[in-house]
Amino acid sequence: MTDLRKQLEFDQSLSELGKSKKANWGRGCAHLFLTTYCILIIIPFVWLIVSSLKNMGQYYNTDLLNVWFPWPLHFENYPKALQTVPLFRYLWNSIWLATVQMILTVISSAFIAYGLSRFQFKGRDTIFIILIASMMLPVQVTQIPLFMFYSKIGFVNSFKPLIIPQFFGSAWYVFLIRQFMVGLPKDLDESAMIDGANTFTIFTRIILPQTKPALMVAGLFIFLYSWKDVWGPLIYLQSGKFYTLPLGLLFFTGPTRVEYTVELAAIVIALVPTVLLYFMGQKYLEKGISIADLK
Amino acid sequence: MEITERVESAGFPADSFKGVFLLAKGRSLLAKRNLMGWVYVSPWIIGFLCFQAFPIFYSFYISLHKWDMLRKPTFLGLSNYTSLVSDPRFLISLRNTFLFMLFSMGLGISLGIFIAALLAEKMKGTHIYRTLFYLPNLVVPVAFGMMMRPIFAGQDYGLVNIILSRLGVANFQWLDNPSTGIWVVIITNFWFIGACMIIFLAGIKSINRAYYEAAEIDGAGWFRRFFNITIPLLGPVIFFQTVSGLIYALQIFDIPISLANLGGSVHTTMGRNDSLASLIFYLYFLGFREWKMGHASAVGWVVFLIGLLFTFVIIWVLRRSWYSQDAN
């Protein structure tokens, strides 16, 4: 009885700690700081959306009321933006490229990660270390020789240079998937081995299904990264018809000089897809962060 | 009898069929199977050699020449490198990139940990905050830069200038002035704090609560706990983030080029007066606008060497962070 009482008092005193004046002050300050930061983050986006609905006259007007609450709203900036450059085609190019890169990279990286996690061979650890080291090489540094090579064989101005490397895995995702695979139990492997299954069957029937969380996370990140990427497309996609969304945005002014507010509308359009994707794939992203943290 | 003994001594239960099988078939099968590992790893090895190892060395070879894609290359020795020292565009790229590295890594990571620690507490609304912080990271960087450009533009209708003029400060050409261009990039980098913050958040959440409770009972305040528990135990994560941050900062390109967007497809300078130069921006410029492949490769190698150098520095400075909380 007395133990229970002591326990209750102890619990109460701990919660008192949380309720103390000092803690409440601290909590308030934290909220203030976080809210201010978040508001600052949002302001440019709000400004962007509001300004994309102005015409140029309203844009140049620096009256405070007009900057934030223009009237009338010019929704026609959006159809104009879509007409100036083929934004839908760029969108499609981005989607297509990102999907292809995602599928290829996930499959090849999982393949390689399988080799690094489920086999013991001499030199495996060396390869792993080189893998990690290779993550630190910025891709742009190797670009010039590759570009020269690709132009010799006529691959420039096509999607090929952006797709071919994906067959060979990508260090970061190999690392991620490998870490995950290492934690998988080995019993199923061994039973299958005894039953005479070869390594490939074990890979496809046993390991892959279990690795799904890591694969989905990797896939999501690859898709996102490809979507945001502008370096590769900038160098290798030279005809307008191949442009991806970031590229199309960068070169937005078509043959006719457009109004700046129309360009702002185009930017808003470019922002939408990833935000949508985020809210759809939110829980996978969070799982991914915790998996990525498995050291 | 002998078989079961051997099976047991190998660590399998005596009547385990698996144990007998593996032992009976002998090591040769296992060894042969292990060699298959090479088959699985081979794509990466090939990819590494073709897309990373070989190009980096060939790029050094290129950097020793004057090479545009049309005429025959001429051998220059190291003069591509020595000319960089007196090249104003290179110097401003170097200065800008260093400044960016310093502030994005130093302030960015510290702020990321701090905010993550705040969000790890049980508070109302953490979910909203997390989403809001991470949202800018989902945005296409080019779109983001193009959004920030008019905000920081030097004319009267740039948002920052509007605010400043309300406060009585004169208009300033943020983007066009070579000394301030990179500061716009640095400031906009704070929008991207979400990515590293979320990783730290995951790390903090995996710290054993017991440490904090013990400290609380001993009367340690929030900051004490933050500095003496959170930060040391986040060692490996901090290390990893610092190195990633280094690589990212070193190759910053998307934001400068979209901030420099002069409303047309032809960029003739890296922002007006080269105000938004960065090392990789310069590499792109030299190689794919001016077609000076040799020069561009030299810049590339400088980037590579800087990256190596800083990685070793970071490893050396943070070498004590290699342990994790389990090793305690």
Q: What is the pLDDT of residues A209-237, one digit of tens each?
A: 888 888 988 998 899 899 999 898 988 98
**Mean pLDDT lowest among A70-79, A120-129, B18-27, B313-322:** B18-27
B149 compared with B322, residue with greater pLDDT: B149
CA B96 to chain CA mean position, Å = 16
CB atoms within 10 A of CB B87: 17
> With pLDDT > 70 as the criterion, what percentage of chain A qualifies?
86
For testing contact with chain A, the best of B16, B40, B315 (most A CBs within 10 A): B40
Q: For B204-225, what is each residue's pLDDT tens digit?
A: 888 878 888 888 888 777 788 8
Torsion, CA A191, CA A195, CA A200, CA A203, rounded to 10: -20
pLDDT at B194 > cutoff 60: yes
Q: For B101-156, what is each residue's pLDDT tens digit?
A: 999 888 899 999 999 888 888 777 788 888 889 889 888 998 898 888 888 876 66
**Which of 251-310 (B) contact A at CB < 8 A?**
251, 253-254, 257-258, 261, 263-265, 280, 283-284, 287-288, 293, 296-297, 300-301, 303-304, 307-308
Structure token digits, residue B68: 């545009």
The stretches of A183-281 forming alpha helices (DSSP H) are: 187-194, 199-201, 208-210, 212-228, 231-236, 245-250, 260-280
Structure token digits, residue A23: 């803690």
**Mean pLDDT lowest among A92-96, A125-129, A272-276, B173-177:** B173-177
pLDDT at B195 > cutoff 90: no
Structure token digits, residue B44: 């990466």
* In the block, residue with structure tokens 């790229």: B93
| Top-tier CATH class for B82-327 | mainly alpha
Interhelix angle A260-280/A87-118, rounded to 10 degrees, is: 40
Closest-CA distance of chain A to residue B322, Å: 11
Nearest-CA neighbor of B178 among B310, B248, B276, B51? Answer: B276
Domain residue ranges in chain B: 2-63, 82-327
pLDDT at A141 > cutoff 70: yes
Nearest to B47 among A51, A169, A250 (CB): A169
Q: For B38-76, what is each residue's pLDDT tens digit?
A: 888 999 999 999 999 999 999 999 888 888 877 788 888
pLDDT at A291: 63
pLDDT at A11: 62
What average pLDDT does range B279-285 have in this prediction? 90
Q: How confident is the model at residue B26 (pLDDT cuts 50, 70, 90)?
A: low
Return the DSSP state at B289.
Answer: T
| Residue ranges of domains in chain A, CATH in brackets | 2-79 (no CATH), 85-251 (1.10.3720.10)
Distance between CA atoms of residues A108 and A15, nearest Å: 52
Structure token digits, residue A232: 């590769």
Q: For residue A147, which residues of chain B lie inside 8 Å, CB to CB?
A: 287-288
